[in-house]
């Protein structure tokens, strides 16, 4: 069977970064001297996807200087800024030709060092420009990249069932960045998270890449980009909590006895309270940023990609670590308080003993 031929499509490499605690998008738009805040569905009756939250600021950049991959020259670069302190660089390449040529391209794009370095350099330059609009500006070392293969049209149109039935192995290899054959189990797993709204559209979501076959895939790609940013934010917060846990265990191990037990833990407890507040704010901003009530397709898509990215597991891990840190420092504070009370009791006993003995001392008789 001849492989389908892509006549119109694009490949989007999405790279997410943590750039600060929050971004004032209105001020960033002024400082960057450009950008748009367009809704996903300007011409359709649909809910506001970001509810009362600020719509991401999207800034177009010249693709010059971005490296080519597998002979494909980048067609566009777009930077998206989110109010909760995240940024996403989208590098777009044109697609065309046989579908079975895409696994090799997927393999080339997997963690491409030059593309990741270019994306970081673009964000670093933009951060210098918009720094006054960013609360606690700092470009994190943690990144999250994702690839979306967007197929707008095929030379011979196929319905979703035909595409999945006849070309499942090729799709699985694209999603898993495998040049060679893959097992039936791998194919089944790679295609297990898929969604269709009609007979001629398809979204297949995997942990590293997605394939979208849709003549109008803008909204689908936007949801995938947001989920990738959300995963980045969860990983960033999880890394912060790992560092805080190490500090907590170190403090606990040094609080054995002696002077360490009498010290005040107010500074570290204050740090924990600050971290818990930052985590709560980040959870609220990230998890409640996207409002898809009323749009069943996009809601289902978001649930699908959330499950694929294990966002629920990240949430549970973060909450558990916050509770662990809080418990450790609470035990330290309780132990220090108990020891101080014990020392005070001994001081009181000593003073009572001294007061009893003083009248019997030769130098104090008659006083």
Considering 198, 226, 254, which residue would you say is the last residue of a domain? 226
In a shared domain, residues 217 and 244: no
Q: Decide the pairing of beta strands 86-98 and 5-18.
A: antiparallel
Q: Are residues 63 and 204 in the same domain?
A: yes
User: How does pLDDT run across 245-301, given as a tens digit for each residue?
Assistant: 777 777 666 655 555 555 556 666 666 667 667 776 776 777 666 666 556 788 889
Residues 233 and 162 reside in one and the same domain: no
Asked if residue 365 is part of any domain, the answer here is no
Q: Are 79 and 12 contained in the same domain?
A: yes
Q: What is the pLDDT of residue 105?
A: 95
Contact 187, 172 (CB under 8 A): yes
pLDDT reading at 67 higher than 90 = yes
Rounded mean pLDDT, 191-197: 91
Please tell me the least confidently modeled range out of 21-30, 135-144, 210-219, 251-260.
Answer: 251-260
Higher pLDDT, 285 or 365: 285
Number of H helices, E strands in the chain: 9, 10
* Pair 128, 250 in one domain: no
Shared domain check, 269 and 240: yes
Q: Which structural domain, as residue segments, surrounds residue 317? A: 228-357
Q: Hey, what are 138's tokens?
A: 């700092």
185 with 259, same domain: the answer is no
Nearest alpha carbon to residue 222 among 281, 292, 152: 292
What was the pLDDT predicted at 365? Answer: 58
Q: What whole-number percentage of the chain has pLDDT above 90?
A: 47
CA distance 132 to 128: 9
Same domain for 178 and 39? Answer: yes
Given 226, 256, 279, which residue is the final one in a domain? 226
For the cut 70, the answer to whether the pLDDT of residue 179 exceeds it is yes
What was the pLDDT predicted at 197?
84
CA distance 186 to 201: 23
Question: If you average pLDDT over every residue of the chain, what do you get?
Answer: 84
- Is the same domain home to 237 and 183? no
Q: What is the pLDDT of residue 23?
A: 93
Domains of the chain: total: 2
Domain assignment of residue 73, yes or no: yes
In this structure, are 193 and 166 located in the same domain?
A: yes
Examine the pLDDT at 18 and tell me if it is beyond 90: yes
Say if 15 falls within a structural domain.
Answer: yes
- Whether residue 25 has pLDDT greater than 50: yes
For the range 193-201, what are the long-range contacts, defined as Cβ-Cβ under 8 Å and sequence gap of 24 or more? 193/304, 193/305, 193/307, 193/308, 194/164, 195/297, 195/300, 195/301, 195/304, 196/160, 197/297, 198/160, 199/159, 199/160, 199/161, 200/157, 200/158, 200/159, 200/160, 201/160
Asked if residue 258 and residue 128 are part of one domain, the reply reads: no
Structure tokens at 356: 């009893």
pLDDT value at residue 42: 46
Query: How much is the pLDDT for 193?
Result: 93
Average the pLDDT over 40-50 and give the result. 51
364 is a domain residue: no
- pLDDT (mean) for 65-69: 93
pLDDT for 54 equals 66
Domain membership flag for residue 362: no
Average pLDDT estimate for 227-253 = 82
Residue 100 located in a structural domain:
yes
pLDDT cut 70: percent of the chain above it = 83
Residue 196 inside a domain? The answer is: yes
Asked if the structure places residue 211 within a domain, the reply is: yes
Q: Residue 45's pLDDT is what?
A: 43
Residues 343-355: tens digit of each pLDDT: 888 899 888 888 8
Using CA atoms, how far residue 244 sits from 110, 272, 276, 299, in Å, is 32, 8, 11, 35
Mean pLDDT of 151-163: 90
User: Which pLDDT belongs to residue 340?
Assistant: 77
pLDDT for res 52 = 44
Judgement on whether residues 56 and 105 belong to the same structural domain of the protein: yes
Q: Which of 189, 209, 226 is the last residue of a domain?
A: 226
């Amino acid at each position: 069977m001849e492989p389908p031929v892509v006549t119109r499509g694009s490949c989007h490499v999405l790279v997410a970064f943590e750039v600060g605690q929050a971004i004032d998008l209105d001020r960033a738009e002024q400082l960057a001297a450009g950008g748009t805040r367009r809704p996903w569905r300007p011409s359709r009756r649909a809910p506001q996807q970001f509810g009362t939250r600020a719509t991401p600021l999207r800034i177009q950049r010249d693709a010059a200087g971005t490296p080519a991959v597998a002979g494909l020259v980048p067609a566009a670069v777009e930077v998206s800024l989110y109010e909760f302190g995240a940024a996403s660089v989208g590098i777009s390449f044109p697609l065309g030709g046989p579908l079975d040529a895409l696994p090799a391209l997927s393999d080339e794009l997997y963690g491409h060092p030059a593309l990741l370095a270019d994306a970081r350099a673009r964000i670093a330059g933009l951060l210098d420009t918009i720094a006054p609009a960013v609360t606690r500006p700092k470009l994190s070392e943690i990144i999250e990249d994702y690839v979306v293969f967007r197929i707008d049209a095929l030379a011979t149109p196929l319905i979703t069932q035909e595409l999945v039935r006849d070309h499942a192995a090729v799709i699985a290899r694209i999603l898993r960045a495998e040049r060679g054959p893959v097992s039936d189990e791998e194919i089944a797993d790679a295609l297990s998270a898929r969604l269709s709204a009609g007979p001629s559209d398809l979204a297949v979501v995997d942990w590293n890449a997605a394939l979208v076959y849709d003549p109008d895939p803008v909204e689908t790609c936007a949801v995938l980009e947001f989920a990738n940013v959300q995963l980045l934010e969860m990983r960033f917060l999880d890394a912060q909590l790992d560092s805080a846990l190490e500090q907590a265990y170190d403090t606990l191990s040094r609080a054995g006895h002696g002077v360490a037990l009498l010290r005040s833990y107010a500074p570290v407890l204050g740090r924990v309270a600050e971290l818990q507040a930052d985590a709560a704010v980040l959870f609220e901003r990230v998890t409640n940023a996207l409002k898809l009530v009323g749009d069943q397709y996009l809601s289902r898509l978001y649930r699908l990609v959330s499950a694929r990215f294990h966002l629920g597991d990240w949430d549970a891990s973060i909450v558990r670590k916050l509770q662990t840190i809080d418990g450790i420092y609470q035990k330290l504070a309780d132990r220090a308080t108990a020891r101080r009370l014990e020392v005070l009791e001994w001081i009181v006993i000593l003073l009572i003993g001294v007061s009893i003995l003083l009248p019997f001392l030769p130098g104090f008789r008659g006083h």
